[in-house]
Amino acid sequence: MTGAGKEDKKRRLTPLERLYLVGVEGVTEVLLIRHAEQAFGITGTVGAFRDPPLSERGEQQARLVGESLSNVHLDAVFSSRLQRALRTAEAVAGHHELDVNVIEDLREHETLRDIPDDKKAQDVLSREMLRALQARLLDERRMDVYPYSESSYEFRNRAVNAVEQAIASQRAERIAVVCHSGVINIYVSHIMKSPYDLVFGPDHTSINVVAAGDGRRVVRTLNDARHLETPDGSLRTTV
């Protein structure tokens, strides 16, 4: 083989490069973006809790994440149908002249879904019980602690499948999936083979990057919210 032929021959990837999908062909970069801050009070009705609009600060956050990705190539943008995610996705897609593809199963965990929309959580569960459930959530990190709610198994199954649907929808270099803290946690937990539903606290509009290819998924970066650090101060929020 000539010297030129040797130079043209592709370098064999190391095991770690293959493991982390570095230099592997056909890899899709998935930007899992949490929605911007929502506007609702903890004493509101269950219906208001399920699908609140963005807060005033959330509108600013959505604008900033859109601007931060304006010069990044995106092949497609996907979103939950819930308005806080959809509005954030529109702020991202608008810079790329892309439509937002809604995937129903990207919605957040259906906490207290069996309680009527016009009721408050306190109408069904005592304040003492709600505090006890919150304490259990902190300790066990599983959504199963909540009664009247979607089970952890149901949530994990649909959330992982929804992200995989976005990945499989087309051959792409990079896609944005705008969704919710619970969905992002579940997908990262799935990749890391963790038994927990909650593994970290993503800030609103944080960008979390996963590589998908070669039949595997790899977490690359978590909770990048540098775009929320402005000359007038930080706009970072988590809850």
* pLDDT greater than 70 at residue 6: no
Q: How far apart are CA 166 and CA 151, in angstroms?
A: 23
Task: Identify the pLDDT of residue 8.
Answer: 47
131, 152 Cβ separation under 8 angstroms: no
- Under CATH, what is the fold of the domain 26-109+152-234? Rossmann fold (3.40.50)
Q: What is the pLDDT of residues 33-67, one digit of tens each?
A: 999 999 975 457 888 888 999 999 999 999 999 99
Q: What is the pLDDT of residues 204-213, one digit of tens each?
A: 999 999 999 9
145, 151 Cβ separation under 8 angstroms: no
Phi/psi zone of residue 22: left (φ > 0), alpha (ψ -120 to 50 degrees), beta?
Answer: beta
pLDDT (mean) for 196-217: 97
- Cα end-to-end distance, the chain, whole Å: 61
Question: pTM to 2 decimals?
Answer: 0.92
